[in-house]
A and B are shown apart, each in its own frame.
Chain A
Amino acid sequence: MANIISDETIEYVGILAKLELSEQEKEQAKKDMGRMLDYIDKLGELDTEGVEPMSHVFPVENVLREDTVTNTDVREELLANAPGEKDGMFMAPRTFE
């Protein structure tokens, strides 16, 4: 395997992705990711010099809306799925120091 994924990398990606993996899962993730990256490295065989990266497949451009208020208050519907709610707001664990 050409791509060796270190413990630090798995730890770091876990922080980015907000995933907590068990030791066993980490080992599996290292293996899986290494294999996938080996496979993805195949792309390196292609010369892409001067090729414009294609983020959007069709040349659709300038899709704009008018600056007009179209929405009405649907707070109760939006809050209906919230795991925690108080005073019309979503409840989250404390963020303040």
Chain B
Amino acid sequence: MGKQYETVIGLEVHVELATKTKIFCGCSTAFGGAPNTHTCPVCTGMPGTLPVLNKQVLEYAVSVGLAANCEITRYSKFDRKNYFYPDNPQNYQISQLYLPICQNGYVEIETEDGVKRIGIHEIHMEEDAGKLIHDEWEDCTLVDYNRSGVPLIEIVSEPDMRNAQEVIAYLEKLRLLIQYLGASDCKLQEGSMRADVNLSVREAGTERLGTRTEMKNLNSFRAITRAIEGERERQIELLESGEEVVQETRRWDDTKGCSYAMRSKEDAQDYRYFPDPDLPPVRIEEAWLEKLRAALPEFRTEKIERYRREYDIPDYDIEILTGSKRLADLFEETVSLCREPKKVSNWLMGETMRLLKEKGMEPEELAFSPAHLAALIEMTDKKEINGTVAKEVFEVMFETDTDPRRYVEEKGLKTVNDTAALQKILEKVIADNPQSVEDYRNGKQKALGFLVGQTMKAMQGKADPALVNQMLREML
């Protein structure tokens, strides 16, 4: 039997902070602007310009540190990381190496193997780079600095993870913490959360760490899982054939399912870090820290506890609802408007989940407002619309956050509760379907269902099925 290998994984997670402006200048961080329209002399590296730190960046970074049980560095500095690349307008990135803002924290993850603590080595603040676009016509690269200077925190874990499952659990844990803080939306696909995987293998039972590689360009949980598997196998194969693992950065190609080394002789990997003379140090006072601590939101564990106390909904629902900040917020805000926790939960657990899955969306992307969901629930309660119509309206609301009242009004979807009108329709249905009427009278219950269906059809779905049912029985 061959040797047994253990995988050792550490993560560097970059998270784009949800500030309104960039980390060192007053440019907007909004997505979707035309190229270079969210730029200024500072974030395009014009000579003579200087950085000024965004207060909100510091607050978010420290809050994440507190949530991840870190020690907050009381005297922290920014350093320059020097390397030439066109996405980096100054050719140095302002980051933190020597005195990062948070250090020595941990988060707890839960997998099939139970609860495990993953150490966090440090969290530091830094600036994002611009976007490079390949221009086929000119065979050149075009640079858009709209993202240049967008604030990031980099969360560096200890090499405490052993498999992809733990990595995913760790990422989900971080994502939830950060979303609960409102510090970022943490979307992997859109790049507001990015994970670089440091991986090495060693013979099971040995203490010494093997040589690690760093893998980049992992933009989904699936890609991360596949890349971990692929890199583990690649390294084991190398070791088995007596070769050595080279410490290097590799780029994962998810379509090809393999990674390749990002090597260049022009790439000395010597960043010549030194304290940025343009940015004074940051000193954290206890009082300020206390204020931030007090302002920390209720995290998931506390939320679960409270839901159990306050709402009569199943534990399973609580798990799912609190698993996303957006869902939990939607739930709480809607309940505060309509006081129907059970019904709100049903809408979120049922139709909402179904549509999310169908459209391949994340709960964080939900756009409908609590007021609209509350209105929809109220309309169903008051039997102003029936269940089928409610689902139809909800689908529209899900897409465009339309006001359900207005929509129902405009489309004339209100349930017709006018018994006289209904009576007329029923008489016609009975007259048109003598065979079914006969069958029902002979004891075939199914025939009643058919007649109800015919009536609903004639009413274009705008009748209350219960009422139709009751009247039909009476008339027959």
Contact = CB atoms under 8 A, between A and B. Distances in A.
Interface in A49-85: 55-56, 60-71, 73-75, 78-79, 84
Contacts of B134: 94-96
Interface string B62-101: 0000000000000001000010111000000000000000
Interface in B435-458: none
Nearest to A57: B277
A55 B277 contact: yes
Contacts of B474: none
Given A71-B26, A95-B132, A66 B55 contact: yes
B144 interface: yes
A89 B133 contact: yes
B142 A68 contact: no
A61 B76 CA distance: 10
A65 B143 contact: no
A90 B135 contact: no
Nearest to B60: A67
Say which size band chain A's interface belongs to. Answer: 35 or more
B19 A61 contact: no
B52 A56 contact: no
Contacts of A15: 265-266, 268
A63 B77 CA distance: 12
Nearest to A66: B55
Interface in A1-33: 12, 15-16, 18
B203 to A, nearest CB: 35
B469 interface: no
Nearest to A77: B41
A78 B270 contact: no
Given A91-B138, A91-B140, A65 B36 contact: no
B84 A18 contact: yes
User: Contact size class for B?
Assistant: 35 or more
B359 interface: no
Contacts of B270: 16
Contact of A93 (B54, B140, B280): B140
A16 B81 CA distance: 12
B268 A16 contact: yes
A92 interface: yes
A68 B44 contact: no
Nearest to B145: A90
Contacts of B41: 74, 78
Which of B58, B132, B265, B280: most chain A CB closer than 10 A?
B280
Given A67-B54, A69-B26, A95-B86, 11 more contacts: A15-B265, A16-B268, A67-B20, A67-B21, A69-B20, A71-B28, A84-B140, A89-B144, A90-B143, A91-B142, A96-B132
7 contacts: A15-B266, A67-B21, A70-B26, A73-B37, A91-B140, A91-B141, A95-B141
